[in-house]
Amino acid sequence: MLALGKLLELTLAGREPAEKTQLTVEGVRMRWLSEGALEVRPPEARDNGMDLLLSAGIHGNETAPIELLDRLLHDIARGDLKPRARILFLFGNPEAIRKGERFIEQDVNRLFNGRHEQSSGSEALRACELERLAAVFFSQPDRQRLHYDLHTAIRGSKIEQFALYPWKEGRQHSRLELARLRAAGMEAVLLQNKPSIVFSSYTYDKLGAESFTLELGKARPFGQNDGVNVSLLETRLKQIIEGNEPEQTTQELDGLQLFSVSREIIKHSDAFRLNLPADVENFSELEVGYVLAEDLANTRWIIEEPGARIIFPNPKVKNGLRAGILIVPATDDNLV
């Protein structure tokens, strides 16, 4: 296998490769761009016009997605997977990956769309670098642009695998992309309805990609991801990479559950209290009238929405950040 196929090993060791560019026997060019960043380019004659950005390890302790990208890269470097797509592989937060932590000083996934400019430290610099790498990658005209930012969650979930679809004024969510996600094993999609500061929102809003955060199961250390079944996603990614996806004949969503954001619960102060058990699962339903959270100055978050569910409840976030998302069922009426 070509040495550049071992991007994860290089990243874990904090090393630069001796050779920055390598060619597989099929003429696929692998180019190391910076720590945790590698571009794969098929020979021109085989290029099918798809630009695919695959990122993982934006949170350093979410290892199943990192292992998945590592397997894909090995397959490409060995010549077992023959890309027709251009691909950018990104391991988001190398320092946090080495430490097995979600982040070191601050959550990289709260530093996009301009936020890193109002901040400092290595993670703000990394968010800036990730934006630049993505922007250069997605700068070629007349090509399809697709970004999957792969994550696993802090807690268990009533719906194991789901996607979050960013929002931009004047842009409609794509039914075809949802059908693709369904085929990749996603059981639900959360349709966002306002701008956000996460990586997938940056590539969706500023770079015109179809972009998604994918949640694949519960976060566990390297080598302990048997419980995270990514086989459908892995198969679909290989098909996208090789340009042999089964044609989506209908735009049937096949039971994919849709949700929209009702409210983001923002933690304003150290007095913030979340009235949920520590082991509450994502997508747990909450009854109307339930006092979900309390904060300074008698602020109370009371459930008003029938059918409300909670995802990503986390009272430990820094003040000013999202401590959970209240979601409600949505229809497919506004898809294009």
Ligand X SMILES: O=C(O)CCC(=O)N[C@@H](CCC(=O)O)C(=O)O
6 vs 208: CA distance, rounded Å: 30
Residue 111 CB, nearest distance to ligand X (Å)? 11
Residue 171-190 contact track with ligand X, rule CB under 6 A, x = bound: --------------------
Q: Is 266 in the site for ligand X (CB under 6 A)?
A: no
Locate the DSSP E strands across the chain. Answer: 21-23, 29-34, 37-41, 50-56, 86-91, 144-153, 162-165, 188-191, 210-218, 257-266, 273-274, 284-285, 291-295, 299-302, 309-311, 322-329
For residues 38 and 89, the answer to whether their CB atoms sit within 8 Å is yes
CB of 8 or CB of 216, closer to Zn ion: 216
Does residue 109 touch ligand X according to CB under 6 A?
yes
Counting contacts by CB under 6 A, is residue 73 touching ligand X?
Answer: no
Residue count of the chain, please give it: 336
Q: Sketch the per residue contact string, 2 through 41, with ligand X: x for CB under 6 A, - otherwise.
A: ----------------------------------------
Question: Residues 8, 52, 54, 59: which binds Zn ion (CB under 5 A)?
Answer: 59
Can residue 59 be called a binding residue for ligand X (CB under 6 A)?
yes
User: x/- contact string, 105-124, with Zn ion (CB under 5 A)?
Assistant: --------------------
| Residue 62 known to bind ligand | yes
| 41 belongs to the binding site for Zn ion (CB under 5 A) | no
Q: Does 197 bind ligand X (CB under 6 A)?
A: no
- Per DSSP, 60 falls in state T
Nearer of residues 134 and 153 to Zn ion, judged by Cβ: 153
Which residue in 4, 52, 111, 153 binds ligand X (CB under 6 A)?
153
Q: Structure tokens of 237?
A: 């990614």
Amino acid at the residue 250: T
285 among the known binding-site residues?
no
Show which residues are catalytic: 215
Q: Dig out the tokens for 167 from the structure.
A: 């929002």
Q: How many CA atoms lie within 13 A of 315 on its CB side?
A: 15
Nearest alpha carbon to residue 168 among 210, 121, 105: 210
Binding site for ligand X (CB under 6 A): 59, 109, 151, 153-155, 164, 198, 200, 213, 312, 314
